[in-house]
């Protein structure tokens, strides 16, 4: 069977059904981004919010999870709201994205916690992760004042001066790649 990539993009709980044929499962999670600070008075723009963090693991059926385990569950983390009310108010942190299964302790990607007040007004880019040869693409930087963070996992931009709200953080993501054979596994035997 060809590999099968499932992407879960909506914040909240999810359930992934493991294909019967899958021998290996790559799981990648990315937490939600932190919102930017609100703008202040006296021409002071709010600082941008930080990106979410990645977590990753490869599960082998019969080793990390039993063949009788049929699903992986977890949560896609949300980005936090931007700071409100002016005065350079900060936002809460983004929330974590998680994955867990029966017999497997699971993984977590933390929500964004960084705050770039006094350093940058841009929401931080989540960046990309290359895991087992597959590229998982994170959200780009939010470079316009008050802009929401780019999904997945990007931080929100700071609010413009004049007490404008900061941008919300970008929602996180979960990717699950199921496959039947490791790449080049046959050839590595010789």
Rounded to whole angstroms, the Cα distance separating 16 from 131 reads 20
pLDDT of 89 higher than 60: yes
pLDDT of 190 higher than 60: no
Q: What share of the chain in percent tops pLDDT 90?
A: 92
3 state SS for 84-148: CCCCCCCCCCCCCEEEEECCEEEEEECCCCCECCCCCCCECCCCEEEECCEEEECCCCECCCCCC
pLDDT tens sequence across 119-155: 999 999 999 999 999 999 999 999 999 999 999 999 9
For residue 182, what pLDDT is reported?
58
For residue 98, what pLDDT is reported?
98
pLDDT tens sequence across 24-77: 999 999 999 999 999 998 889 999 999 999 999 999 999 999 999 999 999 999
pLDDT tens sequence across 10-26: 999 999 999 999 999 99
The Cα-based distances of 180 to 56, 60, 125, 132, 136 in angstroms read 19, 10, 33, 14, 20
Q: What's the whole-number average pLDDT of the chain?
A: 94
For residue 42, what pLDDT is reported?
83
For residue 186, what pLDDT is reported?
39
Q: For residue 119, what are the contacts with CB-CB under 8 A and spacing of at least 6?
A: 47
Domain borders along the chain are 1-190
For residue 114, what pLDDT is reported?
97
The Cα-based distances of 23 to 28, 50, 102 in angstroms read 17, 36, 16
For residue 2, what pLDDT is reported?
87
Bond into 152 cis (ω within 30): yes
């Amino acid at each position: 069977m060809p590999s099968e990539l499932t992407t879960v993009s909506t914040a909240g709980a999810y359930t992934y059904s493991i294909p019967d044929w899958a021998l290996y499962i790559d799981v990648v999670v990315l937490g939600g981004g932190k919102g930017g600070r609100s703008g202040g008075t006296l021409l002071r723009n709010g600082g941008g919010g930080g990106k979410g963090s990645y977590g990753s693991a490869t599960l082998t059926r019969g080793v990390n999870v039993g063949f009788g385990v049929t699903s992986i569950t977890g949560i896609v983390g949300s980005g936090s709201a931007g700071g409100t009310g002016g005065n350079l108010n900060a936002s809460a942190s983004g929330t974590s994205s998680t994955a867990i299964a029966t017999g497997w302790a699971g993984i977590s990607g933390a929500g964004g916690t960084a705050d770039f007040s006094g350093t940058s007004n841009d929401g931080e880019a989540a960046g990309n992760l290359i895991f087992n040869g597959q590229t998982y693409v994170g959200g780009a930087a939010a470079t316009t004042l008050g802009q929401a963070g780019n999904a997945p996992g990007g931080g929100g931009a700071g609010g413009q001066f004049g007490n404008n709200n900061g941008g919300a953080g970008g929602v996180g993501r979960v990717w699950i790649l199921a496959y039947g054979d490791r790449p080049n596994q046959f050839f590595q035997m010789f």
